[in-house]
Amino acid sequence: MHEIICPHCAKAFKVDESGYADILKQVRDADFAKQLHERLELAERDKQSAIELAKAQVSGDLQKTAAGKDAEIQELKSKLEASEVSQKQAVTEALSAVEKERDTLANALAQAEREKKAASELAEALLASEQHKITAAKEKEIQELKAKLHAVELEKKLAVTEAVGAIEKERDELKNGIKQVQLEKQLSEQSLKDKYETQIKDRDDAIERLKDMKARLSTKMVGETLEQHCETEFNRVRSMAFPRAYFEKDNDARTGSKGDYIFRDADEAGTELISIMFEMKNESDKTATKSKNEDFLKELDRDRTEKACEYAILVSLLEPDNELYNTDIVDVFHRYPKMYVIRPQFFLPMITLLRNASLNSLKYRTELALVKAQNIDITQFENQLETFKNGFLKNTDLASRHFHTAIAEIDKSIDHLQKTKDALIGADRNLRLANDKAQDVTIKKLTRGNPTMAAKFAELKNLPAEAAE
């Protein structure tokens, strides 16, 4: 990189090698042209000065010669006028001499003119020769500079040609790559277009087939077709999503009514997680009297209750223009508890949602049952402890009464049985101590040194009333 300072604003800026070379070439070319122009102007001025000087010299010499001759003529005229009278005879001779001298002077003037012209031509020839030499030297220098410039231009053209060749090659490669990508894109787009057009055509054909089939089916057959669809969808994921589930048609009509399908699922221990009574309803587009979802809710709730199912779900294609049923899962809890109305596309998601909710609920129910079982164990332990204390106290009272009876009997023969009396009195004292200790038994003392039982009793005290129940 080169740094260049602007001569006008004194601002420094940097240029790369190629830019610097271009600027340097421009400066050199401009400077050379300027110097050549100045030298040509200087040579032209030297030529004009030499010509003017030669002309001035010749003109000065002629003027001097003419002035001398004019002075001589004036002097002769003066002498002639002064000696006119005395020299009349010599006038002719003098005039002829003067004319002769005049002719000589004229010839000399002509000679001077020729010499002046010759000098001018010589000066012009010398100037032309000098100019020719200068021009030849300039031409030689110009030719050398032109040769250098031509070589530089050739190198520049060669470099530009190589650079352009490389760029054109890269451009051609890029064009070929772009054409290849565009071709692949067009092929991909055409493939996708054909694929989706085929899918759309298949879907349209399927829709037409379904419309034709629905037009030819009765209401009962349409409903059975929806049942087959739901059963197929469930069996398709049964092995992966519901391996322990029961999903069969409800064939028990002993109560006079039955649903379409019953779903039950259990955990690994066999505990039932969830149970659902399903009813599937559909009708043909050509059915004259259109049914509503509301018409089947009461019977579905009765079937759910009779078959001891937790949830009831109506899978319905009725009321196809009702946005309430078309957008989401609809709960009708305000009419019947734990009842939903869904479209067929929500069939599997609804089962999964309720099953997962039941799994979470089962976990909490299991934890609560465990807490209740622990509470029952602790309560039984306390009851057994109280039973033991009461029985021990009763037995102690009976023993004490029997003891006093025995003492009363023994007192009659105290003299003979003193030792026996002392022993029995000691036994009585020990029994009282045992009774005191039994009465002093508490849960706190029993759990001292047993952190597990202490923690269980502490949890029992902290349990809410409904959990303890």
Q: How confident is the model at residue 315 (pLDDT cuts 50, 70, 90)?
A: very high
Q: Residue 194: its pLDDT value, please?
A: 81
Burial 272-301 (b: 16+ CB within 10 A, else e): ebbbbbbbbbbbbeeeeeeeebeebbeebb
Q: Residue 375: its pLDDT value, please?
A: 67
Domain boundaries, the chain: 153-223, 224-387
Q: Residue 134: its pLDDT value, please?
A: 63
Please state, in angstroms and rounded to a whole number, the distance separating the CA atoms of residues 259 and 11.
Answer: 94
Judge whether residue 237 has pLDDT over 80. yes
Label residue 100 exposed, middle or buried (CB < 10 Å: 0-12, 13-18, 19+). exposed
Please state, in angstroms and rounded to a whole number, the distance separating the CA atoms of residues 312 and 297.
Answer: 9
Q: To the nearest whole percent, how much of the chain has pLDDT over 70?
A: 66
Q: To the nearest whole percent, how much of the chain has pLDDT over 90?
A: 17
Judge whether residue 419 has pLDDT over 90. no
What value does the mean pLDDT of the chain take?
76
Judge whether residue 467 has pLDDT over 50. no
Using only C-alpha atoms, the chain has a radius of gyration, in whole angstroms, of: 70
* Under 8 Å between Cβ of 331 and 340: yes
Please state, in angstroms and rounded to a whole number, the distance separating the CA atoms of residues 215 and 283.
Answer: 10
What residue has token string 């069939």?
347
Q: How confident is the model at residue 468 (pLDDT cuts 50, 70, 90)?
A: very low
36-45, 159-168, 267-276: lowest mean pLDDT where? 159-168
More confident residue, 158 or 365: 158
Closest CA relative to residue 313, chosen from 285, 290, 336, 291: 336
Q: Residue range 437-442: average pLDDT? A: 65
Q: Residue range 164-174: average pLDDT? A: 75
Ranked by mean pLDDT, which of 15-19, 82-86, 252-256, 449-453 comes out on top?
252-256
Judge whether residue 80 has pLDDT over 50. yes
Judge whether residue 286 has pLDDT over 90. no
Please state, in angstroms and rounded to a whole number, the distance separating the CA atoms of residues 223 and 139.
Answer: 110
What is the phi/psi pair of residue 276, to 5°?
Answer: -135, 135
What is the phi/psi pair of residue 254, to 5°?
Answer: -65, -30
Token pair in block for residue 306 = 């009779």
Q: How confident is the model at residue 310 (pLDDT cuts 50, 70, 90)?
A: very high
Q: Residue 438: its pLDDT value, please?
A: 66
Q: How confident is the model at residue 120 (pLDDT cuts 50, 70, 90)?
A: low
More confident residue, 294 or 64: 294
**Mode of pairing for the β-strands spanning 311-316 and 272-281:** parallel
State CA 448 to chain mean position distance.
65
Transcribe 119-167 into DSSP letters: HHHHHHHHHHHHHHHHHHHHHHHHHHHHHHHHHHHHHHHHHHHHHHHHH
Transcribe 377-399 into DSSP letters: HHHHHHHHHHHHHHHHHHHHHHH
Judge whether residue 196 has pLDDT over 80. no
Closest CA relative to residue 32, chosen from 131, 136, 149: 149
Q: How confident is the model at residue 17 (pLDDT cuts 50, 70, 90)?
A: confident
Q: Residue 192: its pLDDT value, please?
A: 77
Q: What is the DSSP letter of 408?
A: H
Query: What share of residues in the chain are helix, strand, coil (percent, to 5)?
Result: 75, 10, 15
Q: How confident is the model at residue 389 (pLDDT cuts 50, 70, 90)?
A: low
Please state, in angstroms and rounded to a whole number, the distance separating the CA atoms of residues 135 and 366.
Answer: 118
Judge whether residue 276 has pLDDT over 90. yes
Judge whether residue 215 has pLDDT over 60. no
Judge whether residue 440 has pLDDT over 70. no
Inter-CA distances, 82 with 30, 71, 87, Å: 76, 16, 9
Closest CA relative to residue 313, chosen from 283, 351, 345: 351
Closest CA relative to residue 389, chosen from 401, 377, 378, 397: 397
Strand partners, 462: none
Q: Residue range 10-24: average pLDDT? A: 70
Q: Residue range 307-316: average pLDDT? A: 94
Please state, in angstroms and rounded to a whole number, the distance separating the CA atoms of residues 344 and 326.
Answer: 10
Please state, in angstroms and rounded to a whole number, the distance separating the CA atoms of residues 245 and 241.
Answer: 9
Transcribe 163-205 into DSSP letters: HHHHHHHHHHHHHHHHHHHHHHHHHHHHHHHHHHHHHHHHHHH
**Mode of pairing for the β-strands spanning 272-281 and 261-266:** antiparallel
